[in-house]
Amino acid sequence: MEIVCSPAAMAAWADTVRAEGGTISLVPTMGFFHDGHLALMRKACDIADQVVVSLFVNPIQFGPNEDLARYPRAFERDAELAAATGVAVLFAPTAEEVYPAGFRTKVSVSGLTETLCGVSRPGHFDGVTTVVAKLFHMVKPHLAVFGAKDFQQLAVIRKMVADLNWDVNIIAHPIVREKDGLAMSSRNTYLSGEERTKALCLSRALQLARERVAAGERDAARLREEILQYIIAYGDVTIDYVAIVDAETLVSCDTITAGSLLALAVRIGRTRLIDNTLLGGA
């Protein structure tokens, strides 16, 4: 596996692969790999000739009071894990290379970014779309693999690609979970033992919601209130949102249908966790 830090070198590598008729799949990450990341890499290896994993903690998607400075980092370990998975290139540019002096451009997707995480994290999705746009230009992938845990991010990236006529196929990978149901996240390392137990309120709330819908519940407001109270009962948790929305538009639903998504964001201690599930109502 090559480790490439220069955007120019990354683009040159991509040009060579494309000229030889090879396909490139990109897995964008911020590092501190867990089994969820590795599942994305394995999927990328299955669908393309060459896989590039970007490792870049993107400063412009963090708010002023968020965890940019303490975001977990383990470059050497990450490089070993990526290489063992069959990745061809680990692309690890510096912030100065991605955002050189005088950088003033941003990519913004309206309509999908003002709800859910966009309410409590203003500007976050502009940071995400801007860095992903730059990665697409530097890596020149045919495909890009994203995890479905960040469902709103996935929807926003898909919209950006469609609106800008990018020839990049966006592949969604299902949420990868711990054995007890907790969605895998680099931020799980922030949790104390007690907080880790409380964090199960997210996946258990999703399971409860699926059971209610399977039993015939179709009233979104009633189900939302039940899930809200279920999470509150865990104690010492702060709810950012409990929302039932259309999976394509992210607009709130009154009636649960096959296209309804339950999305959660909850703070446990200092750690903000997200999770979601399709409800599958008929």
Is pTM beyond 0.85 here? Answer: yes
> How far is 80 from 198, CA to CA, in rounded Å?
32
pLDDT at 65: 87
In the chain, what are the domain boundaries? 2-173, 186-275
CATH level 2 (architecture), domain 186-275: 2-Layer Sandwich (3.30)
124 is known as an active-site residue: no
Catalytic residue among 37, 124, 142, 173: 37
Query: What's the CATH superfamily of 2-173?
Result: HUPs (3.40.50.620)
What does the pLDDT profile of the chain (282 residues) look like in tens digits?
999 999 999 999 999 999 999 999 999 999 999 999 999 999 999 999 999 999 999 999 999 989 999 999 999 999 999 999 999 999 999 999 999 999 999 999 999 999 999 999 999 999 999 999 999 999 999 999 999 999 999 999 999 999 999 999 999 999 999 999 999 999 999 999 999 999 999 999 999 999 999 999 999 999 999 999 999 999 999 999 999 999 999 999 999 999 999 999 999 999 999 999 999 865
- Which of 280, 221, 216, 225 has its CA nearest to residue 255? 221
